[in-house]
Structures are given as structure tokens and as C-alpha cells.
Amino acid sequence: MKEAKALTVTYLVQTSLASLNGSDKEADNISSIKKFTRGTEQYPYGSAQWVRRALREQLANLGWDLSEGVAANIAKGAATTRQEPDKYIDDDLFGFMGTEKGGDNQKGSATKRTSPVRVSPLVSLERYMGDLDFGTNYMSVAAGGTPNIFETEIHSGFYRGTVLVELDRVGSGEGFKEELPPDEKAKRVKALLTALKNLWSSGRQTRFLADISPKFVAAALLKVKNPIFLESVLPSNEGINTRLLSETVEDFKSEILSVVFGGRKELFKVLPEDTLSLGDAFVAMENWVDNYYL
């Protein structure tokens, strides 16, 4: 386990009806969702920035103090965080970039920490069918106005995302004067896993409450940094494409230290052999983390 470099988790989300990640409005009365084009079809997705924000918010819900936003001290500079990764879990796991104003006749300086947690967008595996929810806002009626009619793009289906954690960079390197103790590193990575297990975004949930926590996961502890399951987790008839997963594991057997699959067995009738419950799969990943750091 000590020779590991990364932990990667690819997960499937299933939504019945959602409007997950808002995009620029195509018309004044339509709230659109983010989509990309493949061939002639459009597929919804949640941006990586949105997923990272959801993970950060869940860490806060779990009781972790987050690094507050700080205004830049140079003109047109972007706001950043407190840039204290030793103190704040999000500065450690998600990195930062900031600029500092220089003194008299001195150049300014830039500080950064490259995120050891890499996140893919949450991409729909089913195309957008043009579905819209019709709504009416009656708030203006009381003021003598007319009802405001609006529409919201909605979608249903499977979404796939991936998280890769560079285990050897957590709690050390850029931004650190002293490396964190091994038990604190393990605690932070396990907190991230808990946040992923309970993934939820607060955006667009008032009228379209959606569960984006994983329903199937494929995870590996690796000697290399490679999201091996990123394009290899696919639903099939009544289940998961097990041949593709088996082929992936075989192709990377010399780089894999350990692998685990977890899923809701009543949702997926076809699953890889030895698939655990989701809870047990995340426990297995936490054990990898403990064995690596401790």
C-alpha cells in the first residue's frame, strides 16, 4: 500500500427528474441546463467546478471549517482563499491561486497550490430530449401585475463522474511550511470520501430536489496517477457493463494495488462479481487510506 500514488473513484448517479447545473439563458423565460454536443445530439452535464463546490459544501456540512474568500489586494485581481492548507481542508485538497501586491519598486508575487484532488464533470450518458417544466410566478399579481410564465429545462437518466486523489501530495508540498502528520492526511482524505458518498448540491434544489450521491462506484488504489475507470463505467440492460470493467482491470493489473466495486443491488440486476454494498465499498476505500498513511 505504501507504493500507492493515487486513489480513483468513478461513480454513477441516477436522477428521475432534475435540472442539475444551470447555464446561460437562451431566452428570458427559459432556465437552461449545461449541455455539450456529441455528433448531432446534446448531452447535459454538471461542470467540474459545480462538483468541486458540492464537495466543499458537503465538507462544511460534515463540520470542517472552510477557507473564506479574500479579496485580491491588486487591481483586477481575482478573489481567492486564505491560502492556509495546513489549517483548512479545502485549501489543501482543492488548491488555490493568489497574487500579492509588491512593495515599492518591487514586483508582486503569485502563490498557488495545484489541487491534489482532480474532478471530472458529471456527464449524462443519455441525450437531452428537449423536456421542459412549465411554471408561473404569481408574485407580481398582488402588486397589480400579471403572472410571469417561465420554463425550466429538465432531464432524467444516468450521469457519470470521476474523482482522482493524488495521495502523495495531500498535506504536503505547495503552500506548506511543514508536512501534516500522517493521521491528519488520512482524516482529510476519508472526509473527502464521505463527502463524495453523500454528494449533494444546494443549487436548483428548491423545486427540483435531486439525489446525486453515487449508486455505483468503481474504485482503485494505484501505483500511478490514472483515472482508469473514467470511460469504463457504463450501464447496460438492467445493470452494469461488467465485461468493460473486467477488461480495464486486466489491462492495468500491474498498476493496480487494490480494486473495489460497490452498488445498489436492487437498482442494478447485473453487477461485477464480488460487488459490495455502497457502504462497504467506501469502508474498503477508507481502509486503503489508513494503510497508506498510517
Q: Looking at the DSSP assignment, which residues form a beta bridge with residue 65?
A: none
3 state SS for 90-127: HHHHHCEEEEECCCCCCCCEEEEECCCEEECCEEECCC
With cell 423565460, the residue in question is: 29
Q: How many domains does the chain have?
A: 1
> Does residue 140 belong to any structural domain of this protein?
no
For the segment 136-157, the average pLDDT, to the nearest whole number, is: 76
Kindly tell me if the per-residue pLDDT of 175 is higher than 50.
Answer: yes
Kindly tell me if the per-residue pLDDT of 228 is higher than 70.
Answer: yes
Higher pLDDT among residues 110 and 252, named by residue: 252
> Does residue 111 belong to any structural domain of this protein?
yes
- What is the total residue count of the chain? 294
Cell digits of residue 290: 489508513
> Does residue 143 belong to any structural domain of this protein?
no
pLDDT band of 145, cuts 50, 70, 90: low
CB distance 153 to 30 below 8 Å = yes
pLDDT number for residue 75: 46
What is the domain range of residue 188?
6-127+155-293
Residue 238 and residue 118: Cα distance in Å, rounded? 30
According to the per-residue pLDDT averaged within each range, which of 22-31, 91-100, 140-149 is highest?
91-100
> Does residue 139 belong to any structural domain of this protein?
no
CB distance 265 to 271 below 8 Å = yes
Of 72, 118, 61, 58, nearest to 94 by C-alpha is 118
> Does residue 146 belong to any structural domain of this protein?
no
For the segment 73-87, the average pLDDT, to the nearest whole number, is: 72
pLDDT digits (tens, 9 = 90+) for 244-257: 999 999 999 999 99
> Does residue 187 belong to any structural domain of this protein?
yes
> Does residue 186 belong to any structural domain of this protein?
yes
pLDDT band of 26, cuts 50, 70, 90: low
pLDDT band of 71, cuts 50, 70, 90: very low
Kindly tell me if the per-residue pLDDT of 150 is higher than 70.
Answer: yes
> Does residue 148 belong to any structural domain of this protein?
no
pLDDT number for residue 220: 98
How many CA atoms, within 13 angstroms, populate the side-chain half-sphere of residue 81? 23
